[in-house]
Amino acid sequence: MVGQTDGRFTDGARGDDCLACGPAAHSLETLLHKYRLVVEHTSNMVVITDAQRRIEYVNPAYSRVTGWGLDEVIGRRPSQLLHGPQTDTEAVQRVRGWLDQGVPVVLAELLNYTKSGQPYWAQLNIQPVHDAQGVLTHFVAIQSDVTQQRAAREALQASERRLAEAQRLARMASFECEGPEQRLWWTPAAADVLGVDEAALPVDLAAHVGGVHPDDRATLEDAYRRMAWREDGYEVEYRLADAQGRARWVRERGYLLPAEGAMPSRLCALLYDISSTKAAQDRMAYLAWYDALTGLANREQLQALLQVRMDTSRQNGRQLAVLFIDLDRFKTINDSLGHHVGDEVLKVCGQRLRTGVRSNDLVARLSGDEFVIVLTDIADAGVVASLGTKILAALSAPMRIEGRELHVSGSLGVGLYPQHGDTVSELMRHADAAMYQAKAQGRNTLVFYTPEMHAHSARRFELESKLRLALPRREFSLHFQPQYRACDRSLVGFEALLRWHTEVDGWVPPDQFIPLAEEAGLIHQIGDWVLDEACRQWRRWAEHGHPGLRVAVNLSAYQLRDPALASRVAAHCERHGLPPDALELELTESVAMHDPRTSIQHMTTLRERGVCWAVDDFGTGYSSLAYLKTLPIERIKLDRAFVNDIEHNPDDRAICAAAIQIAHALGLELVAEGVENEQQLHYLAAQGCDVMQGYHLGRPMPADAALALVCQAIDPAGAPPPALP
């Protein structure tokens, strides 16, 4: 029998000492009856075992739930009857350990099995019972079936887990704030979303506000105040520091939950991590005003600030200067060394410009290789000129990029305010025109705007627009100038020279439009057309029985840098059936010198396919003989400037003679250009010149005239050429 004393159960009722009821009120039998009523009618399972945990008694509720009758269980251990495959053995060991030490088991949960093998969750309370001497005599276990509560609890936990996971995925945390202490209850994902340790989550509202970036704190405090006052929601954005001290942008949206039953009204807030959205917004705002590559101001910022600075200058009666800088031959670097090298060059140039001026001067990159500097408060043009010269010097210092040393220079045009324009666009246009003038004057120079330039740049612009239409309008043609062998005056071939005829301007000289085509990026298409047309004409000569003639084509520096040049040339030769050695490509020596390594590479590729190379305008550049030796060339064309004056100038005579000897010493042929009279021809022939070309021998002529000359020169009887298919 079971009694209770001082919170500890003891074995056997001790008559008068029974606390539950006194003998005066109840007889022992009445008391026993009441105990039985309790034990037999409770919905909890009651098990009484001896000290060795052998069952002495189970109540009807036990039999009802487990299916085991009293008779079947007496003398057996509960574990033999109730435990099954999923029972947590570690939990069982723990319970046994406590019981062995005489410690009560409170609210332990175990998965038990009924007699028919049905699992159920049991919540256990087991009390050891001692006799008057303190010896353990029994255990009284009260079990209840908590399967349903447990399922409900697990469902709740799973739903909380899902909510936490959803919040974590949405980069969202939330808290509830209640009570006068304004304690905060955070959702599980909060620490992760805010990037802090669990322990660092603020415990109350004051700590939360204290953790917000000082600049944003007032906004949040204000939102809380307004919400308490007006009782409607709020939304604020602020920065919090994460565990590494980095700022994390958070958007907090909160509202008041009204009091409900025992729950007082409380603040509920959702926090979103919006750092990436903010970063994207910042980047967009940055890109709207800055050039991403160099970090300098972009065109939009330049235009806005130039306007402001012009206004200020007008009010102060001060001068302002716009320096327009364009890098020289930047396109060549980009085309030949790749865009990544080009980008590095632009970055270095941007830095050099930035360090070359005062911190409040504006430096911007307009596009490509164009930069603009705005200098304010300048005393006079002299100051601008000396600063501009320093800037050009800084730009042209050698730079090392990807292990190579590169040399870049710039052309600089200056427009002054107010003299050269009183609107942003006019001042910029005029500085731009001055820059073009600087380019025309040989690059790496500085030029101030003058009104005549306006007309010049307008004409240039007009010409460029027309040049774009020249190919589709079929305004180009090739003229052919004959070349003769000096020893016997036999025709060896022709140089193809490009001609452009427009309805309005008439003939435009190649010296004018070729540089324009190069800068406008049209030279590749035009050069391709020239190659195709030259090969087509050679084909006509061959079809008239003269396949031994050579056709020479001038190449621009830009074409030489084109990695596809070799395949283009090969395609033209193939289309018109030209053996590659019938084609000669002319390069001016300065072109071949500009980037010798790349030049040699491209020239060698074509040479290996049989194409011949000639160095044009020899003597006007800086070719060293040692360098000439490294080029895969067959011919040198001596510039006509040396031939012009042979009769009168002994120096020129000496130069011509030396050039011929040098060519021969290097195993090359020498072609003399610009032979205009018989005396020049005689002198050159006497010195051993190999080939001659000039007005005296034949002017550049249209294709049909060249064909007629071919037939006549080789067949003096002058039989008319057969009709072409």
**Which stretches of the chain bind ligand C2E, using CB under 6 A?**
481, 497-498, 509-511, 514, 530, 554-556, 586, 616-617, 640, 673-676, 694-695, 700
> At closest approach, how far in Å is the CB of 641 from ligand C2E?
10
The nearer residue to ligand C2E, 554 or 687, going by C-beta atoms, is: 554
Q: Is 405 strand, coil or helix?
A: strand
The tokens for 241 are 């520091």
> At closest approach, how far in Å is the CB of 688 from Mg ion?
20
Q: Which amino acid is at 487?
A: C
The C-alpha angle 18, 22, 24, rounded to 5 degrees, equals 150
The torsion of the CA quartet 433, 436, 437, 438, rounded to 10 degrees, works out to: 120
The nearer residue to ligand C2E, 318 or 479, going by C-beta atoms, is: 479
3-state secondary structure 598-631: HHHHHHHHHHHCCCEEEEEEECCCCCCHHHHHHC
Q: Is 242 strand, coil or helix?
A: coil
Distance CA 612, CA 603 (A): 9
Length of the chain equals 725
> At closest approach, how far in Å is the CB of 642 from ligand C2E?
12
The nearer residue to ligand C2E, 414 or 628, going by C-beta atoms, is: 628
CB 48 within 8 A of CB 57: yes
The nearer residue to ligand C2E, 241 or 516, going by C-beta atoms, is: 516
Find, among 679, 725, 720, 678, the residue nearest to 697 by Cα: 678
> At closest approach, how far in Å is the CB of 697 from Mg ion?
15
> At closest approach, how far in Å is the CB of 586 from ligand C2E?
6
Find, among 642, 664, 716, the residue nearest to 490 by Cα: 716
The nearer residue to Mg ion, 213 or 696, going by C-beta atoms, is: 696
Strands 612-618 and 635-638: what pairing? Answer: parallel
> At closest approach, how far in Å is the CB of 458 from ligand C2E?
24
> At closest approach, how far in Å is the CB of 655 from ligand C2E?
17
Distance CA 287, CA 293 (A): 10
> At closest approach, how far in Å is the CB of 511 from ligand C2E?
5
> At closest approach, how far in Å is the CB of 693 from ligand C2E?
6
Q: Is 164 strand, coil or helix?
A: helix
Compute and round to an integer the Cα radius of gyration of the chain: 50
Neighbours of 465 (CB within 10 A): 10
Residues that bind Mg ion in the complex, under the rule CB under 5 A: 554, 586, 616-617, 673
* Residue indicated by tokens 């300098």: 296
Out of Mg ion, ligand C2E, none, what residue 694 binds, judged by CB under 5 to 8 A for its kind, is ligand C2E
351, burial (CB in 10 Å: exposed 0-12, middle 13-18, buried 19+): middle
Neighbours of 686 (CB within 10 A): 10
Beta strands in 34-146 (DSSP E): 45-50, 55-58, 105-113, 119-130, 136-145
Out of Mg ion, ligand C2E, none, what residue 511 binds, judged by CB under 5 to 8 A for its kind, is ligand C2E
Q: 299-316 and 424-440 are packed helices; what angle lies between their axes, rounded to 10 degrees?
A: 110
> At closest approach, how far in Å is the CB of 371 from ligand C2E?
29
The nearer residue to Mg ion, 10 or 554, going by C-beta atoms, is: 554
Q: Which amino acid is at 585?
A: L
> At closest approach, how far in Å is the CB of 558 from ligand C2E?
9
Q: What is the separation, in whole angstroms, between the first and last Cα of the chain?
A: 131
Out of Mg ion, ligand C2E, none, what residue 695 binds, judged by CB under 5 to 8 A for its kind, is ligand C2E
Q: Which amino acid is at 322?
A: V
CB 550 within 8 A of CB 612: yes
Out of ligand C2E, Mg ion, none, what residue 556 binds, judged by CB under 5 to 8 A for its kind, is ligand C2E
Q: Which amino acid is at 506?
A: G
> At closest approach, how far in Å is the CB of 276 from ligand C2E?
52
Out of Mg ion, ligand C2E, none, what residue 481 binds, judged by CB under 5 to 8 A for its kind, is ligand C2E
Distance CA 179, CA 265 (A): 9
DSSP per-residue string spanning 687-725: HT--EE-STTT---EEHHHHHHHHHHHH-TT-PPPPPP-
The nearer residue to Mg ion, 296 or 587, going by C-beta atoms, is: 587
The nearer residue to ligand C2E, 240 or 614, going by C-beta atoms, is: 614
The nearer residue to ligand C2E, 102 or 702, going by C-beta atoms, is: 702
The nearer residue to ligand C2E, 13 or 705, going by C-beta atoms, is: 705
209-218: long-range contacts, CB 8 A cutoff, minimum separation 24: 211/240, 211/241, 212/238, 212/239, 212/240, 213/238, 213/239, 213/240, 213/241, 213/247, 215/239
Distance CA 675, CA 671 (A): 10
Phi, psi of 192 (to 5 degrees): -65, -45
The nearer residue to Mg ion, 145 or 616, going by C-beta atoms, is: 616
364, burial (CB in 10 Å: exposed 0-12, middle 13-18, buried 19+): buried
Using the Cα atoms of residue 152, residue 156, residue 157 and residue 159 in order, give the sign of their dihedral. Answer: positive
> At closest approach, how far in Å is the CB of 700 from Mg ion?
11
> At closest approach, how far in Å is the CB of 524 from ligand C2E?
11
The nearer residue to ligand C2E, 138 or 635, going by C-beta atoms, is: 635
Strands 669-672 and 691-692: what pairing? Answer: parallel
CB 328 within 8 A of CB 409: yes
The nearer residue to Mg ion, 59 or 556, going by C-beta atoms, is: 556
Out of ligand C2E, Mg ion, none, what residue 663 binds, judged by CB under 5 to 8 A for its kind, is none
The nearer residue to ligand C2E, 53 or 640, going by C-beta atoms, is: 640
Distance CA 562, CA 595 (A): 13
The nearer residue to Mg ion, 511 or 678, going by C-beta atoms, is: 511
> At closest approach, how far in Å is the CB of 639 from Mg ion?
6
Out of ligand C2E, Mg ion, none, what residue 85 binds, judged by CB under 5 to 8 A for its kind, is none
